Amino acid sequence: MLSGILIFNQKGENLIFRAFRSDCRPRLADIFRIQVISNPQVRSPILTLGSTTFSHVKHENIYLVAVTKSNANAALVFEFLYRLIVLGKSYFGKFDEEAVKNNFVLIYELLDEILDFGYPQNTDPDTLKMYITTEGVKSAITNNPTDSSRITQQATGALSWRRSDIKYRKNEAFVDVIEDVNLLMSATGTVLRADVNGQIVMRAYLTGTPECKFGLNDRLLLDSPDASSANNRKGGTSGANKTTRAAAGSVTLEDCQFHQCVKLGRFDADRIISFVPPDGEFELMRYRATENVNLPFKVHPIVREIGTTKVEYSIAIKANYGSKLFASNVIVRIPTPLNTAKTTERTSQGRAKYEPEHNNIVWKIPRFSGQSEYVLNAEATLTSMTHQKAWSRPPINLSFSILMFTSSGLLVRYLKVFEKNNYSSVKWVRYMTRAGSYEIRYDTYTHPYPQI
Amino acid sequence: MAMNKIRGAFAVPRKGETFELRAGLVSQYAYERKESIQKTIMAMTLGKDVSALFPDVLKNIATGDLEQKKLVYLYLMNYAKSHPDLCILAVNTFVQDSEDPNPLIRALAIRTMGCIRVEKMVDYMEEPLRKTLRDESPYVRKTAAICVAKLFDLNPAMCLENGFLEMLQEMIGDPNPMVVANSVTALSEISHTAPETKALQVTPNTLRKMLMALNECTEWGRVTILSTLAEYRTSDVKESEHICERVAPQFQHANPSVVLAAVKAVFLHMKFVGPELAKAYLKKMAPPLVTLVSSAPEVQYVALRNIDLLLQKQPDILNKELRVFFCKYNDPQYVKFQKLEIMVRIANDRNVDQLLAELKEYALEVDMDLVRRAVKAIGQVAIKIESASEKCVNTLLDLINTKVNYVVQEAIVVIKDIFRKYPGYEGIIPTLCQCIDELDEPNARAALIWIVGQYAEKISNAGDILGGFVDGFNEEFSQTQLQILTAVVKLFLKRPEKAQGLVQRVLQAATAENDNPDVRDRAYIYWRLLSNTSDSNATKDIVLSDKPPIVTTISSLPPALLDQLLQELSTLSSVYHKPPEQFVGQGRFGADAVQRAAIEEQIQNARENPLAAAAAAAAVSGDTPSAPAQNNVENLLDIDFDGGAPASAHPEASGGMSGLEGLAGTPVRMQSPAVGAPAPQSSNNLDDLLGVFGDSGPTQPSSSNANGSGAAGDLMNGFSGLDLSGNAPAADGQAKKSNQDIMDLF
């Protein structure tokens, strides 16, 4: 499996070098530096030299590199590197060069724990935080045999994600349904691709070892005869229940992925999401929906190139959601040619600004209420160049977030908590839709390529 | 005694960093010692040699501070080899720690002991390992399980003698899922390194245990168990069904590598279950595969390469999912290229309109490589889907009208292939001929000339066009020269009155003024054919014979290789689309043996039939997967200079291997095939750096490298000794190429 983990900064300085097998030699760091970091041609994340394979990902300003010597599991290697990033972020807030330099001892300690002989072990940040800590404060616990046997018991047990002795005075669970809506619209206005990547994040503050059951307006589930709707009566005591009644339609989920706490066998057999949640915040599930996607914004771009000196824009955006809702932080990025000298903009709402470093006109609308329509008119004046590079016309890009709206139409029907103490719990649910990659292509009237 | 000697050898100046560190390490204050250890580790990371501090660091090993202990252990692991004798001093602490009441410390001790690769240490490992394997804490047991694999790597004999393997096998039945997973991991590694130990034998009982642990262990443990299940050959249908049933829920796991491992296991066991059930599983694995495409770009790339393999075996699984593979503007290039290939694979007559619109969009981008691939993809679609060919040709014509140089060139290469399948598009030839002055790439020029020659009777000014090329004959690339030669001869045979002078001129130029043996030989063949007076139709029959239409320009792997690669899903091998023997080095997977076998076979083949040997070598190295032997024969007479496959389906870049690199003992550079091969110049500066690969350390000039090149040299001599002189020169050249291919394996 993995022979070593290396971390470099952008200059190619080796910040961390941890060999797990004897075949990972220090000189490999030089080879990676020369072959990848200082070689602008390398664009692949995997590079095999001789029988040594370097798999790398870039995060912030560091390279994380896995060295393997065998026909390793490439998917696992990359996923592990990404998990390392998650872990770093969870420990240091930001996982960058500075964090690595300031915490290198801890990083070695972590690497020692999460990889043994190159095989990934438990990488769950919450579990690791029980016995690998940033300050020396808690090391007293790890030095105490009884506590540490409890910790290790937990770190390896079937419920490795949850301690058994959790107590709350008030038992609460918060569910956030967050959807990223992706759109690719062609220049002629047809939707080439529209889908939703959703995630359901839960913050559970529940006592003991609660069994949770979670229900969505999933078409497969609702259509099956044994899905008794009586369940939602007893279900949540608050928010979750009200929205359930409002849910008339159902949603087809293309695919779901679950946190390791979810019993996959149960879901596979009768599509019931049942689990013992970790304490605190975790991502319960991710899902994908492609049918009946409600696109929150319609964009009509008109882009005209006038000779080689000017580009005129007229961009209209209409909000497609209910008038009671509103989107916040709507940002429209309108690409301008690379040789833009200056721009002028007029907007019916919000502010527009030219950002020369990104070759963009950025139009910001802090609050965009439903059903309204706003227009931007802009003009980019171009400098004349003897031989200009063709303009690649990157798509117009939108970012936004809308509360209490799901593009897929997904709703939480119930969240039930069973615990042997039989306490009552309060559940809350919140919905949000954000822009994933929301791209709109456009045609320009004159041809974008100069004559050669 | 020994200590003193070492002290003397590593005597350091009383100044500088090492001196300061040493002072700190022996300080009377604990915090100063700890700080110095940290600094030492820092220096170690930066690549400085701090091995001289070994004895002083070692003094700090006996400490209650867990963090400090870990640092000392880390140092030990790194420098143990430089002070094998001193390591003994640490043994006591290790043995003590392995009996500590704190399980974290017990685990740490056994974990570190396994990483100290010193013969003497191994002798002391037996007892602690035996104890910890039976420890009450699962955390210690799971660590000890991996330690058995470490020990086996160091000293297999001892591992076997002490019955550690049997203990591990028992541990598959452990109540703790993580212990099960690690035991399986360790056994699987041992049985891969040394198959003769039969370390991991799956029985119905262990199978049950693994399936049980599968639902409870960590994500990484699941990957191990799923991979083991995938390798397991079931004894009956029932068992396969059972495995599929239990594995399929893992499709829903959040970790992409678990999903891929589950797909692999189900895909491999699916063959044995009923067709209905298999179909259901195929349907079930499609959505998770699609979901993988929205993961991080690197993971996505691995997933896409794997999807490519799955599609070659089961072309229909993602029929309805074309849109997911549309490129996003910010996708990295390597992801875009792979998406293009997959889109072409899943194209059918229902989604082809959508696909063409999308491909045209890419063809108008500015990224030259992407544009070329998009144009090529349009051609592949045209040849794949007959009903769409007209739309494709129209799209290509639109693209030609953009007059963007490289678009036009690529389009012409692609159109040539379309001509080779569909008749009836001669009407567009005038448009193509208009671009003649813009073509500067040999491929494009060759393609256009081939078209002119092939349709000479329908092009009124074919003589003029070819005349222009003949004038500059000796400035052309040899690939284009061959095409000019053939086209002129075709023209002459079709319309003798127009090309009498031309054919004389070109044959003259090719035989008298040209240095390239291929061009010269072809010219001589034509010359002889044309001067054959006994049967005037013979020449026509040969040169103008109907060529079989091409079936596809989408490159596919040969079935045997594909089946082999499907066993390797989600590994590097599946990313490179090459069997592991080709890039995994010494020993671990018996690569040497495989090479030797391959070379034996090559020599045998070369004796019998050099052409077939060349083709086989090509197939082995995976360079031109679609080049069977007869294509090479056809090659000598007909159009393609660059191999049997159509020009537009050029083989995947093999990373600038020149064959000579292999001879020099330099490892062959490989890069992900979807990405343009880097310039080979980089391999030169590799030489000295890579010299250390496989050595046991920079201080010990080891011999494996020298041996390697020595062996290669011997083999080369062996080859040159082979009697190949009886064969045609061209064939000789190819055989030589195949030898080099073999050498590339080193």
pLDDT tens by residue, A271-308: 889 999 988 888 999 999 988 899 999 999 999 888 77
For residue A392, which residues of chain B lie inside 8 Å, CB to CB? Answer: 365-367
Cα(B50)–Cα(B45) distance, integer angstroms: 10
pLDDT of B344-358, one tens digit each?
A: 999 999 999 999 999
Residue in B closest to A113 by C-alpha: B108
Ordered DSSP codes for B673-715? TTSPPPPTTHHHHHHHHHTTTTSS-TTS--SHHHHHHHHHHHH
pLDDT of A73-120, one tens digit each?
A: 999 999 999 999 999 998 998 999 999 988 888 899 899 999 999 999
pLDDT of B95-119, one tens digit each?
A: 888 888 888 889 999 999 888 888 8
- Single-letter amino acid code for the residue at B62: A
pLDDT band at B14 (very low <50, low <70, confident <90, very high): low
Closest CA to A128 of A105, A154, A146: A154
User: Which has more pLDDT, A113 or B592?
Assistant: A113
Q: Is B699 exposed, middle or buried (0-12, 13-18, 19+ CB in 10 A)?
A: exposed
Cβ neighbour number for residue B660 with a 10 Å cutoff: 12
- Judge whether B705 is closer than 8 Å to chain A, CB to CB: no
Three-class SS state of B740: helix
Mean pLDDT of chain A: 84
Quote the pLDDT of residue A399. 94
The reply to whether residue B253 touches residue A48, judged by beta carbons under 8 angstroms, is no
pLDDT band at B15 (very low <50, low <70, confident <90, very high): low
Cα(A54)–Cα(A51) distance, integer angstroms: 10
Q: Say if residue A374's pLDDT is above 60.
A: yes
The reply to whether residue B571 touches residue A72, judged by beta carbons under 8 angstroms, is yes
pLDDT band at B319 (very low <50, low <70, confident <90, very high): confident
Average the pLDDT over B607-634 and give the result.
42
Quote the pLDDT of residue B735. 40
Cβ-nearest to A75 among B38, B182, B257: B257
Mean pLDDT of chain B: 77
Cα(B715)–Cα(B520) distance, integer angstroms: 32
Cα(A283)–Cα(B381) distance, integer angstroms: 41
Three-class SS state of A437: strand
Q: C-alpha distances in angstroms, B482 versus B5, B465, B641?
A: 73, 16, 7
Total-model pTM: 0.79
pLDDT of B462-494, one tens digit each?
A: 888 888 888 888 888 888 999 999 999 998 888
Could you tell me if the ipTM is greater than 0.95? no
- Judge whether B677 is closer than 8 Å to chain A, CB to CB: no
pLDDT band at A164 (very low <50, low <70, confident <90, very high): confident
For residue B294, which residues of chain A lie inside 8 Å, CB to CB? Answer: 197, 288
Average the pLDDT over A213-232 and give the result.
61
Quote the pLDDT of residue B729. 39
The reply to whether residue A68 touches residue B572, judged by beta carbons under 8 angstroms, is yes
The reply to whether residue B139 touches residue A156, judged by beta carbons under 8 angstroms, is yes
Quote the pLDDT of residue B739. 41
* Orientation of helix B256-270 relative to helix B297-313, angle to 10°: 10
Q: Which of A401-405, B36-40, B660-664 has the highest mean pLDDT?
A: A401-405
Three-class SS state of A139: helix
Out of B341-345, B367-371, B566-570, B709-713, least confident range: B709-713
Cβ-nearest to A148 among B42, B102, B323: B102
The reply to whether residue B589 touches residue A70, judged by beta carbons under 8 angstroms, is yes
* Beta-sheet strand order (sheet of A52-59): A14-19, A2-9, A62-68, A52-59, A46-49, B669-671
Average the pLDDT over B284-298 and give the result.
91
For residue A47, which residues of chain B lie inside 8 Å, CB to CB? Answer: 670-672
Residue in B closest to A253 by C-alpha: B287
pLDDT band at B549 (very low <50, low <70, confident <90, very high): confident
- C-beta of residue B551 within 8 angstroms of C-beta of residue B246: no
Quote the pLDDT of residue B551. 83
Query: Which of B140, B329, B334, B688 best probes binding to A when mutated, by most A CB atoms within 10 angstroms?
Result: B329
Q: C-alpha distances in angstroms, B519 versus B451, B463, B479, B632, B733?
A: 19, 21, 9, 16, 14
